[in-house]
């Protein structure tokens, strides 16, 4: 038996979300059907608002309602340090920590030859322009510790270092509370490589 067309379309829409399979999509669709109409309208309006009211900051590439974003407008932050991240969720994670008071630059992806993503497909050109125009002393590369994240970090490092700007990378290694015996070789290598004096 097939679902009525409106439910089938809703299930199909939910399945386009990452990590949502057919069963979960069907469960969400039937849950949505049982919601009060006002709650459904609020949900739909929130989705529409995300698409219509948000834009990319012209300076750092973070999501924002106003351009430039709140962080780029903040005169109390250290404008000489730029932390380069893969996406806007990384900015939110760093801001929750409340320790980094510098600026950000969002790449919106990483280099991935397997997926056909090259330097022109991510937000690198804006970063280079920014480094030429502003008094930036250090670029901290905070891409993920994946093959693509490492390749992107190396590419950026080679691109930026000739300009005389200091390029650093976030430390990787053992997580707090983890046991050495359960760590893989790459994690242990990163932990040794990123060691610091006590």
The residue extents of the domains of the chain are 5-53, 76-193
Domain 76-193 has CATH 3.40.50.720: no
Average pLDDT by consecutive 10-residue portion of the chain (198 residues)?
A: 91 96 96 96 96 96 96 96 96 92 97 92 95 92 90 95 92 77 79 73
| Residues in the chain, total | 198
Name the residue among 38, 35, 32, 34 with its Cα closest to residue 17.
Answer: 32
Angle, alpha carbons 103-106-107 (nearest 5°): 140
Rounded Cα–Cα distance for residues 130 and 155 (Å): 17
Q: Are 29 and 11 in contact (CB under 8 A)?
A: yes
What is the topology classification, in CATH, of domain 5-53? Helicase, Ruva Protein; domain 3 (1.10.8)
pTM attached to this predicted model? 0.82
What integer pLDDT is reported at residue 198 of this predicted model?
60
Residues forming beta bridges with residue 63, ordered by sequence position: 56
């Amino acid at each position: 038996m097939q679902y009525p067309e409106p439910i089938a379309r809703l299930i199909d829409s939910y399945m386009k979300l990452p990590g949502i399979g057919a069963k979960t999509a069907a469960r969400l669709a039937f849950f949505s059907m049982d919601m009060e109409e006002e709650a459904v309208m609020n949900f739909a309006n929130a989705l529409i608002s995300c698409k219509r009211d948000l834009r990319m900051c012209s300076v750092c590439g973070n999501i924002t309602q106003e351009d430039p974003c709140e962080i780029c407008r903040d005169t109390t932050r250290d404008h000489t340090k730029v932390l380069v991240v893969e996406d806007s969720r990384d900015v939110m994670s760093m801001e929750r920590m409340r320790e980094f008071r510098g600026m950000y630059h969002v790449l919106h992806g990483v280099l991935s030859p397997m997926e056909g993503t090259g330097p022109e497909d991510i937000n690198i050109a804006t970063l280079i322009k920014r480094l030429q125009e502003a008094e930036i002393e250090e670029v901290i590369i905070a891409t993920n510790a994946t093959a693509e994240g490492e390749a992107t970090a190396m590419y950026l490092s080679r691109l930026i270092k000739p300009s005389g700007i200091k390029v650093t990378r976030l430390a990787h290694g053992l997580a707090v509370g983890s046991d050495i015996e359960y760590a893989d070789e790459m994690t242990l290598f990163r932990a040794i490589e990123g060691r610091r004096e006590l």
